[in-house]
Amino acid sequence: MKIHIETERLIIRDLENFDAQGIFDLDSDPEVHEYLGKHPIKTIQEAEEVINFIRNQYLENGIGRWAVIDKKTNDFMGWTGLKYEQKLREDMSYYDLGYRLRKKYWGNGIATETAIESLAYGFDKLNLKKICAAADVNNIASNKVLQKIGLQFIETFDYEGKPHNWYTISKSEWVASKNNR
Ligand SMILES: CC(C)(COP(=O)(O)OP(=O)(O)OC[C@H]1O[C@@H](n2cnc3c(N)ncnc32)[C@H](O)[C@@H]1OP(=O)(O)O)[C@@H](O)C(=O)NCCC(=O)NCCS
């Protein structure tokens, strides 16, 4: 099992097949999917497919979303991290920052904490030049996280019939924002 990041309260590691129940708890919740197209999953088999899909990205792209684990309880909290995104924007491929947590873990700064760690991993370890993110304009929590950690709003674009905010941060912007903290 590959652990990528450890903080005081979290372990951030590769998603594993045994996370199927955790992914099911996460992705079967309609509230979690409110701004994600409103297609929550219904079966454990779908959860297993999600894990296979992400684990394939580790092999094909060298990166994909990672599991977030509560260090104290070993509970599966959700996922976070970077993905090489090739479909969301018609005109470009890019490294996308994202996060999705089980509802019981919302409101404790966990998305912000894992997003900060993901940016550092992308720029320091993967040596990326730019990281991007998109959020439904009505997804206040997600927009807030992206703004808090230093991503710059660029434009609003249409994704599946819904307006989304588009954000980017370059390595030099990230270095400058770190030095200003
Ligand atoms: C988006 C998500 C990951 C945020 O996780 P989280 O750990 O609760 O986020 P954080 O606690 O780090 O930060 C959320 C911020 O938004 C604020 N916030 C959340 N809901 C809000 C609301 N309805 N109105 C105003 N502010 C809100 C919080 O107060 C916090 O800001 P603060 O630190 O200034 O107080 C979580 O809500 C989630 O999993 N949602 C479903 C999946 C999803 O939408 N993922 C993002 C797709 S782009």
156 contact partners, CB below 8 Å, separation of at least 6:
137, 163, 164, 165, 166
Confidence category of residue 135, pLDDT binned at 50, 70, 90 = very high
Task: Answer yes or no: is the C-beta of 84 below 6 A from any ligand 1 atom.
Answer: no
State the total domains in the chain: 1
Task: Answer yes or no: is the C-beta of 100 below 6 A from any ligand 1 atom.
Answer: yes
What is the residue-wise DSSP string for 35-56? TTTS----SHHHHHHHHHHHHH
pTM for this predicted structure: 0.97
Structure tokens at 117: 């760690």
Task: Answer yes or no: is the C-beta of 159 below 6 A from any ligand 1 atom.
Answer: no
Task: Answer yes or no: is the C-beta of 65 below 6 A from any ligand 1 atom.
Answer: no
Tell me how far apart the alpha carbons of residues 110 and 53 are, in angstroms, rounded to a whole number. 24
Domain span at residue 55 reads: 3-179
Ligand 1 atom nearest the C-alpha of 108 is 11
Tell me how far apart the alpha carbons of residues 30 and 58 are, in angstroms, rounded to a whole number. 27
- Quick one: angle between helices 44-61 and 20-27, nearest 10? 110
Q: pLDDT (tens digit, 9 = 90+) per residue, 162-175?
A: 999 999 999 999 99
Ligand 1 atom nearest the C-alpha of 35 is 44
Q: Does residue 9 register a pLDDT over 90?
A: yes
Q: 121: domain CATH number?
A: 3.40.630.30
Ligand 1 atom nearest the C-alpha of 102 is 39
Tell me how far apart the alpha carbons of residues 141 and 101 are, in angstroms, rounded to a whole number. 12
